[in-house]
Structure 1
Amino acid sequence: MLSPQIYELLFKALLDTLHMVAVSGALGTVIGLPIGVLLAVTGRGELLQNLVFNRIVGAIVNMTRSTPFIILVVAIIPFTRLIAGTSIGTTAAIVPLTVAAAPFIARIVENAIREVDRGLIEAAQAMGATPFQIVRKVLLPEALPAIVMGLTLSAVSLIGYSAMVGAVGGGGLGDLGIRYGYQRFLPEVMLAVVVVLIVLVQIVQSTGDWIAQRVNKRNLKR
């Protein structure tokens, strides 16, 4: 049975995790969404073909995505200190979480846009639409359900990453599980952390699925 103090710590850790995931997810989307769009429209034979730009940005995205998260956290500690003023705590953890999320989201957006029926693009071009208008009125609306599902997957991944960052003093549920469940030999605390993480992932996934369905229905009606 958990003590009232542990329940209080668990609630605070949950709030810290939600804060890290929400802020890093929002920042990752703000950064990753335009990068993903640019990667999609600058590829070979696309609206704004620019192979040099596409390959350089694509290589940077791939390098960031291929770096294991825990190594990324340690590798960018100087950058984290520059941005957050510290390398420990929930605020500092947002920096590596954002760096990890942005390229992941960029690839999701790129793939979603590439799946849009080219017939719609050609029809928009035939009506004299500019590339910007095609992106805003055709590509993004048509790719929106897939983008929402991708952002949901990103949020679930960030929840897992936020638990991992607890190993290096990032705070949140992962930090609570390590400090109390592992270091103080309290398996009931570790179990509680795992249960909360599972429930949180289920809520995020279900919410994302519901939003994607609603968006998809609107597209069908249109």
Structure 2
Amino acid sequence: MEFLNEFGDILIKGTMETLYMTFASVFFAYLFGLPMGVALVVSDDNHIMPSKIVNRVLGTIVNITRSVPFIILLIAVIPFTRMVVGTAIGANAAIVPLVIGATPFVARMVESSLKELNKGIIEAAASMGCSNLEIIYKVMIPESMPSLVLGSSITTITLVGYSAMAGAIGAGGLGDLAIRYGYYRYESELMLVTIVVLVLIVQAIQFAGNHISKKINRLY
């Protein structure tokens, strides 16, 4: 009871900030990463819209961005973060590097999911007169949806970890609590609770992703 009286409010606030940063980042990462992943697939050789230039440029951008450790990326994009949201600290500021770091990850996850699709389905759709856009939005994405959902749960879990790391530069959330109280003030009890909360969040996301994926898979 004493623990809740002392840390209950900041623990709830930190949890809400972590969830906010994570899911807002997932939304924007998929907003940019989904079309990028689709472009990587369809621009490949022997696909519906082959283009070596597009494929190589996008592949290079994705590989370079993914090569930068997230903690370094957090610091490197501070000027850009200030330009976008007007500040470099807080949950809103953390979303900018989280999106930049997650977008290429999403692109590769989407690429991997779409490449699992049987090419015979795409060829059948093309033979029935479907346009390239119809093949993408009515065939490729719906048929790959179970795998895409699993990929989104992996992405979300990754961003939970990234959001905790962002606490090192004042982003707020559970990572900030762990650093400020667990590391600097030696509040081991609060550190343990933040770890438990993060584990529960990750388990809930993974369970939801698996459950939704199985539901969608039964529809097909």
Q: Specify the TM-score bucket, using the shorter chain as the normaliser.
A: over 0.9
- Name the structure 2 match of 1:45: 46
Q: Which amino acid aligns with 1:67?
A: V
1:3 CA displacement: 4.0
How far apart, CA to CA, are the structure 2 residues paired with 1:90 and 1:138? 37
- Name the structure 2 match of 1:120: 121
For structure 1, the residue ranges without an aligned partner over 5 or more in a row are: none
Query: How do 1:202-221 residues align onto structure 2 when only pairs under 5 Å count?
Result: 202-219=203-220
1:125 CA displacement: 1.3
1:5 CA displacement: 2.8
How far apart, CA to CA, are the structure 1 residues paired with 2:204 and 2:98? 20
| RMSD, aligned α-carbons | 0.8
Q: Which amino acid aligns with 2:157?
A: V
- Name the structure 2 match of 1:145: 146
SS in 1 for 2:144: helix
- Name the structure 1 match of 2:109: 108
- Name the structure 1 match of 2:133: 132
How far apart, CA to CA, are the structure 2 residues paired with 1:144 and 1:151? 10
How far apart, CA to CA, are the structure 1 residues paired with 2:105 and 2:195? 25
- Name the structure 1 match of 2:21: 20
How far apart, CA to CA, are the structure 1 residues paired with 2:41 and 2:6? 50
Q: Which amino acid aligns with 1:17?
A: T
How many residues in Structure 1 have an aligned counterpart in Structure 2? Answer: 219
1:45 CA displacement: 1.1
How far apart, CA to CA, are the structure 2 residues paired with 1:70 and 1:206? 28
SS in 2 for 1:2: helix
SS in 1 for 2:121: helix
How far apart, CA to CA, are the structure 1 residues paired with 2:64 and 2:9? 40
Q: What is the aligned-residue identity percentage?
A: 45
How far apart, CA to CA, are the structure 2 residues paired with 1:210 and 1:66? 32
How far apart, CA to CA, are the structure 1 residues paired with 2:146 and 2:201? 22
SS in 1 for 2:3: coil
After TM superposition, which residue ranges in structure 1, 4 or more long, deviate above 6 angstroms? none
Query: How do 1:68-79 residues align onto structure 2 when only pairs under 5 Å count?
Result: 68-79=69-80
How far apart, CA to CA, are the structure 2 residues paired with 1:143 and 1:5? 48
How far apart, CA to CA, are the structure 2 residues paired with 1:25 and 1:127? 35
